Amino acid sequence: MTLPNPHFENSYTRVFGHGVGMNQNADAFFARFYDHFLATPEVAEMFAKTNLERQRLMLKKSVLHLVTYYATGVLTPDLQRLAERHQQLQIAPELLDVWMQALLETLREFDREVDEVVELAWCWAMAPGIAYMRQIMSQALTE
């Protein structure tokens, strides 16, 4: 997969290792992500009954779905399912900003070469997937 921005690609490799898959460091990364994400009480409430270990594994995979969308511009059924699940959960789309900030806070701790350019590259990489999720999550449920 060719990624359009070397700042993102290099940072991703520093944090997760080479290749599209992720190394063990990713587990520590996503564990820490939830520390930051759940620091917002509104978010913590929603995860009160969630098995966080399982959740971490799923998040790890779903970040790959976001990266795939960024790299290819093609919506995958995985990403569609993810957006629909969040629509069903009736999560306020504004909370996607909290999600992104938690990701950046985690990045600052895990990428020793992080700077503003790298952070922006991550925002850019996550943006298509987040925009798609926001669009679906902003639609009323039809049932």
Which region, judged by CB under 6 A, interacts with ligand HEM, from 18-26, 69-77, 91-99, 109-117? Answer: 91-99
Which region, judged by CB under 6 A, interacts with ligand HEM, from 9-17, 27-35, 39-47, 68-76? Answer: 39-47
Cα 128 from Cα 115, distance rounded (Å): 22
Cα 142 from Cα 94, distance rounded (Å): 21
Which region, judged by CB under 6 A, interacts with ligand HEM, from 5-13, 78-86, 104-112, 116-124? Answer: 78-86
Nearest to 111, CA basis, from 20, 32, 1, 19: 32
Q: What is the DSSP letter of 8?
A: H
Q: How far is CA 102 from CA 29, 115, 143, in A?
A: 11, 16, 33
Which region, judged by CB under 6 A, interacts with ligand HEM, from 5-13, 26-34, 80-88, 114-122? Answer: 80-88
Which residues have a Cβ under 8 Å from the Cβ of 125 and sit 6 or more positions away? 3, 5, 8, 66, 67, 70
Minimal distance in Å, beta carbon 121 to ligand HEM?
Answer: 17
Measured from the CB atom, is 50 or 72 closer to ligand HEM? 50
Among 43, 64, 114, 136, binds ligand HEM (CB under 6 A): 43
Among 74, 89, 140, 141, binds ligand HEM (CB under 6 A): 89
Asked if 3 interacts with ligand HEM (CB under 6 A), we say: no
Cα 67 from Cα 65, distance rounded (Å): 5
Q: Give the interface with ligand HEM as residue ranges (CB under 6 A).
A: 43, 46-47, 50, 58-59, 62, 66, 82, 85-86, 89, 91, 95-96, 99, 130, 133
